[in-house]
Structure 1
Amino acid sequence: MRALIIDDSRVMRSILRRIVTGLGFEAAEAGDGQQALDVLNSGFEPDLCLIDWNMPVMDGYTFLTRVRDNPEWRSITLMMVTTESEQQQIVRALAAGAHEYVIKPFTPDAIADKLEMLGLLTKEPTA
Protein backbone atom coordinates (compact mmCIF):
# COMPACT_ATOMS: atom_id res chain seq x y z
CA MET A 1 0.00 0.00 0.00
CA ARG A 2 1.13 3.52 -0.76
CA ALA A 3 0.25 6.82 0.92
CA LEU A 4 0.77 10.42 -0.15
CA ILE A 5 0.99 12.83 2.79
CA ILE A 6 0.06 16.40 1.88
CA ASP A 7 0.71 19.05 4.52
CA ASP A 8 2.66 22.30 4.60
CA SER A 9 4.05 21.43 8.04
CA ARG A 10 7.23 19.37 7.81
CA VAL A 11 6.65 18.19 11.39
CA MET A 12 3.12 17.01 10.61
CA ARG A 13 4.31 15.18 7.48
CA SER A 14 6.95 13.46 9.62
CA ILE A 15 4.37 12.43 12.23
CA LEU A 16 1.98 11.07 9.60
CA ARG A 17 4.82 9.31 7.76
CA ARG A 18 5.85 7.58 10.97
CA ILE A 19 2.27 6.45 11.58
CA VAL A 20 1.54 5.12 8.09
CA THR A 21 4.93 3.48 7.54
CA GLY A 22 4.44 1.78 10.92
CA LEU A 23 1.19 0.42 9.51
CA GLY A 24 2.97 -0.98 6.46
CA PHE A 25 2.53 1.81 3.92
CA GLU A 26 5.17 3.18 1.59
CA ALA A 27 4.93 6.98 1.88
CA ALA A 28 5.62 10.02 -0.27
CA GLU A 29 5.19 13.65 0.80
CA ALA A 30 4.10 16.97 -0.65
CA GLY A 31 4.08 20.42 0.97
CA ASP A 32 0.93 21.66 -0.79
CA GLY A 33 -1.76 20.56 -3.21
CA GLN A 34 0.17 21.58 -6.33
CA GLN A 35 3.21 19.56 -5.25
CA ALA A 36 0.85 16.64 -4.58
CA LEU A 37 -0.60 16.88 -8.11
CA ASP A 38 2.97 16.92 -9.42
CA VAL A 39 3.69 13.71 -7.46
CA LEU A 40 0.56 12.06 -8.91
CA ASN A 41 1.44 13.22 -12.42
CA SER A 42 4.97 11.81 -12.00
CA GLY A 43 3.52 8.32 -11.79
CA PHE A 44 3.32 7.73 -8.03
CA GLU A 45 0.08 5.79 -7.52
CA PRO A 46 -1.08 6.05 -3.91
CA ASP A 47 -3.88 4.02 -2.39
CA LEU A 48 -4.38 6.81 0.14
CA CYS A 49 -3.89 10.58 0.37
CA LEU A 50 -3.79 12.26 3.78
CA ILE A 51 -4.66 15.89 3.10
CA ASP A 52 -4.34 19.06 5.15
CA TRP A 53 -6.87 21.77 4.29
CA ASN A 54 -4.93 25.02 4.85
CA MET A 55 -1.80 25.16 2.69
CA PRO A 56 -0.15 27.75 0.46
CA VAL A 57 -0.18 27.54 -3.36
CA MET A 58 -3.06 25.02 -3.48
CA ASP A 59 -5.20 24.13 -0.47
CA GLY A 60 -6.36 20.64 0.36
CA TYR A 61 -9.95 21.20 -0.73
CA THR A 62 -8.84 22.30 -4.21
CA PHE A 63 -6.51 19.29 -4.42
CA LEU A 64 -9.41 17.04 -3.39
CA THR A 65 -11.66 18.39 -6.15
CA ARG A 66 -8.89 18.10 -8.77
CA VAL A 67 -8.31 14.46 -7.86
CA ARG A 68 -12.02 13.70 -7.98
CA ASP A 69 -12.29 15.39 -11.40
CA ASN A 70 -9.65 13.06 -12.88
CA PRO A 71 -11.01 9.58 -13.76
CA GLU A 72 -7.50 8.07 -13.47
CA TRP A 73 -7.40 8.97 -9.77
CA ARG A 74 -10.97 8.07 -8.73
CA SER A 75 -9.86 4.93 -6.89
CA ILE A 76 -7.57 6.83 -4.49
CA THR A 77 -8.91 6.97 -0.93
CA LEU A 78 -8.85 10.59 0.27
CA MET A 79 -8.74 11.47 3.97
CA MET A 80 -8.66 15.03 5.24
CA VAL A 81 -6.34 15.46 8.26
CA THR A 82 -6.78 19.06 9.33
CA THR A 83 -7.52 21.59 12.04
CA GLU A 84 -10.68 22.66 10.18
CA SER A 85 -13.37 21.52 12.60
CA GLU A 86 -16.44 23.45 11.48
CA GLN A 87 -19.30 21.15 10.54
CA GLN A 88 -19.80 23.06 7.27
CA GLN A 89 -16.20 22.37 6.20
CA ILE A 90 -16.46 18.69 7.09
CA VAL A 91 -19.68 18.34 5.09
CA ARG A 92 -18.14 20.25 2.17
CA ALA A 93 -15.08 17.97 2.03
CA LEU A 94 -17.13 14.78 2.30
CA ALA A 95 -19.55 16.01 -0.37
CA ALA A 96 -16.59 16.77 -2.66
CA GLY A 97 -15.35 13.19 -2.37
CA ALA A 98 -13.30 12.80 0.80
CA HIS A 99 -13.80 9.36 2.33
CA GLU A 100 -12.93 10.37 5.89
CA TYR A 101 -12.12 13.39 8.00
CA VAL A 102 -9.72 13.53 10.96
CA ILE A 103 -9.38 16.66 13.07
CA LYS A 104 -5.96 17.62 14.46
CA PRO A 105 -4.73 16.87 17.02
CA PHE A 106 -5.20 13.13 16.61
CA THR A 107 -3.68 9.93 17.97
CA PRO A 108 -1.96 7.25 15.90
CA ASP A 109 -4.83 4.93 16.89
CA ALA A 110 -7.36 7.38 15.41
CA ILE A 111 -5.57 7.21 12.05
CA ALA A 112 -5.30 3.42 12.23
CA ASP A 113 -9.00 3.10 13.13
CA LYS A 114 -10.04 5.27 10.17
CA LEU A 115 -7.83 3.25 7.81
CA GLU A 116 -9.33 0.04 9.15
CA MET A 117 -12.86 1.43 8.61
CA LEU A 118 -11.88 2.31 5.03
CA GLY A 119 -10.64 -1.22 4.41
CA LEU A 120 -7.01 -0.15 3.97
CA LEU A 121 -5.81 -1.83 7.11
CA THR A 122 -6.67 -5.07 8.82
CA LYS A 123 -5.94 -5.57 12.46
CA GLU A 124 -4.14 -8.75 13.33
CA PRO A 125 -6.22 -11.01 15.55
CA THR A 126 -4.80 -11.24 19.04
CA ALA A 127 -4.12 -14.75 20.27
Structure 2
Amino acid sequence: MPTILAVDDSPSIRQMIKVVLGPAGHTVIEAGDGAEGLAKAKEGPLGLVITDLNMPVMNGLEMIRQIRGVPALAGVPILFLSTESDETYKQQAKAAGATGWITKPFKPEQLLAVVSKLTRN
Protein backbone atom coordinates (compact mmCIF):
# COMPACT_ATOMS: atom_id res chain seq x y z
CA MET A 1 0.00 0.00 0.00
CA PRO A 2 1.34 3.43 -0.89
CA THR A 3 2.05 6.06 1.74
CA ILE A 4 -0.50 8.87 1.95
CA LEU A 5 0.36 12.41 3.02
CA ALA A 6 -2.48 14.20 4.87
CA VAL A 7 -2.02 17.99 4.89
CA ASP A 8 -4.50 19.95 7.00
CA ASP A 9 -4.17 22.61 9.69
CA SER A 10 -6.81 20.77 11.74
CA PRO A 11 -5.32 17.96 13.85
CA SER A 12 -8.79 16.39 14.15
CA ILE A 13 -9.18 16.15 10.37
CA ARG A 14 -5.72 14.57 10.04
CA GLN A 15 -6.67 12.12 12.78
CA MET A 16 -9.95 11.26 11.02
CA ILE A 17 -8.04 10.55 7.80
CA LYS A 18 -5.71 8.21 9.71
CA VAL A 19 -8.61 6.49 11.47
CA VAL A 20 -10.36 5.87 8.13
CA LEU A 21 -7.35 4.89 6.01
CA GLY A 22 -5.12 3.17 8.58
CA PRO A 23 -7.32 0.08 9.07
CA ALA A 24 -7.52 -0.25 5.28
CA GLY A 25 -3.74 -0.79 5.28
CA HIS A 26 -2.57 2.69 4.34
CA THR A 27 0.35 4.41 6.05
CA VAL A 28 -0.62 8.04 6.68
CA ILE A 29 1.92 10.75 7.42
CA GLU A 30 0.79 14.21 8.49
CA ALA A 31 1.61 17.87 7.88
CA GLY A 32 -0.05 20.91 9.45
CA ASP A 33 0.32 23.36 6.55
CA GLY A 34 1.30 23.52 2.90
CA ALA A 35 4.96 24.34 3.53
CA GLU A 36 5.37 21.35 5.86
CA GLY A 37 3.41 19.23 3.38
CA LEU A 38 5.70 20.22 0.53
CA ALA A 39 8.78 19.37 2.60
CA LYS A 40 7.37 15.96 3.58
CA ALA A 41 6.28 15.24 0.00
CA LYS A 42 9.87 15.76 -1.17
CA GLU A 43 11.17 13.27 1.44
CA GLY A 44 9.91 10.06 0.04
CA PRO A 45 7.74 8.08 -2.27
CA LEU A 46 4.06 8.88 -1.93
CA GLY A 47 1.03 7.21 -3.40
CA LEU A 48 -1.33 10.11 -2.70
CA VAL A 49 -1.51 13.58 -1.17
CA ILE A 50 -4.72 14.68 0.58
CA THR A 51 -4.79 18.41 1.26
CA ASP A 52 -6.99 21.15 2.62
CA LEU A 53 -7.32 24.43 0.75
CA ASN A 54 -7.23 27.08 3.48
CA MET A 55 -4.15 26.71 5.69
CA PRO A 56 -1.58 29.05 7.25
CA VAL A 57 1.96 29.52 5.85
CA MET A 58 1.13 28.00 2.43
CA ASN A 59 -2.37 27.14 1.21
CA GLY A 60 -3.28 23.95 -0.61
CA LEU A 61 -3.33 25.49 -4.08
CA GLU A 62 0.20 26.85 -3.75
CA MET A 63 1.41 23.55 -2.31
CA ILE A 64 -0.04 21.68 -5.29
CA ARG A 65 1.65 24.06 -7.73
CA GLN A 66 4.97 23.52 -5.94
CA ILE A 67 4.54 19.72 -5.84
CA ARG A 68 3.73 19.65 -9.55
CA GLY A 69 7.03 21.46 -10.16
CA VAL A 70 9.02 18.59 -8.62
CA PRO A 71 9.65 15.98 -11.35
CA ALA A 72 9.65 13.04 -8.91
CA LEU A 73 6.19 14.08 -7.65
CA ALA A 74 4.60 15.06 -10.95
CA GLY A 75 2.51 11.88 -11.20
CA VAL A 76 1.36 11.65 -7.58
CA PRO A 77 -2.43 12.00 -7.32
CA ILE A 78 -3.60 14.91 -5.16
CA LEU A 79 -7.01 14.94 -3.50
CA PHE A 80 -8.47 18.18 -2.19
CA LEU A 81 -10.43 17.78 1.04
CA SER A 82 -12.04 21.12 1.85
CA THR A 83 -15.11 22.83 3.24
CA GLU A 84 -15.09 24.93 0.07
CA SER A 85 -17.49 23.60 -2.56
CA ASP A 86 -17.56 26.59 -4.91
CA GLU A 87 -16.95 25.67 -8.55
CA THR A 88 -14.34 28.45 -8.84
CA TYR A 89 -12.15 26.75 -6.21
CA LYS A 90 -12.58 23.40 -7.94
CA GLN A 91 -11.46 24.94 -11.25
CA GLN A 92 -8.43 26.55 -9.56
CA ALA A 93 -7.53 23.25 -7.90
CA LYS A 94 -7.79 21.36 -11.18
CA ALA A 95 -5.69 24.00 -12.95
CA ALA A 96 -3.06 23.72 -10.19
CA GLY A 97 -2.88 19.96 -10.67
CA ALA A 98 -5.40 18.43 -8.24
CA THR A 99 -6.73 15.02 -9.23
CA GLY A 100 -9.98 15.09 -7.26
CA TRP A 101 -12.09 16.92 -4.66
CA ILE A 102 -14.04 15.86 -1.58
CA THR A 103 -16.06 18.34 0.45
CA LYS A 104 -15.87 18.30 4.26
CA PRO A 105 -17.45 16.87 6.24
CA PHE A 106 -16.70 13.67 4.40
CA LYS A 107 -18.16 10.20 4.78
CA PRO A 108 -15.50 7.59 5.65
CA GLU A 109 -16.70 5.23 2.91
CA GLN A 110 -16.52 8.06 0.36
CA LEU A 111 -12.91 8.84 1.32
CA LEU A 112 -11.97 5.15 1.19
CA ALA A 113 -13.56 4.71 -2.24
CA VAL A 114 -11.81 7.73 -3.74
CA VAL A 115 -8.45 6.82 -2.17
CA SER A 116 -8.76 3.26 -3.48
CA LYS A 117 -9.52 4.57 -6.95
CA LEU A 118 -6.65 7.08 -6.94
CA THR A 119 -4.11 4.60 -5.55
CA ARG A 120 -5.55 1.72 -7.58
CA ASN A 121 -5.89 -0.58 -4.56
> Shorter-normalised TM-score: what interval?
over 0.9
Which residue number corresponds to residue 15 of structure 2? Answer: 14
Deviation at 1:118, TM superposition (A): 2.4
Q: 1: CA distance between counterparts of 2:3 and 2:29? A: 8
Q: Note the C-alpha offset of 1:39.
A: 1.2
Q: CA deviation at 1:116?
A: 3.1
Give the 3-state SS of the residue equivalent to 1:118 in structure 2: helix
Unpaired segments of 5 or more residues in structure 1?
Answer: 122-127
Shift of 1:80: 0.3
The normalised TM-score by structure 2 is 0.93
**How many aligned positions are there?**
120
Partners of 1:116 and 1:26 in 2: CA distance? 13
Per residue, is there more helix in 1 or in 2?
2
Aligned 1:3-82 pairs, distance under 5 A: 3-41=4-42, 43-82=43-82
Q: Which residue of 1 aligns with 2:118?
A: 118
Aligned to 1:101: 101
Unaligned runs of 5+ in 2: none
- Give the 3 Å change call, closer, same or farther, for CA 34–119 of structure 1 in structure 2: closer
| 4+ runs deviating over 3 angstroms | none
Identity of aligned residues (%): 29
CA 14–119 in structure 1, closer or farther in 2 if over 3 Å, else same: closer
Q: In the TM superposition, what is the alpha-carbon distance from 1:109 to its structure 2 partner? A: 0.7
Aligned-residue RMSD, C-alpha = 1.2
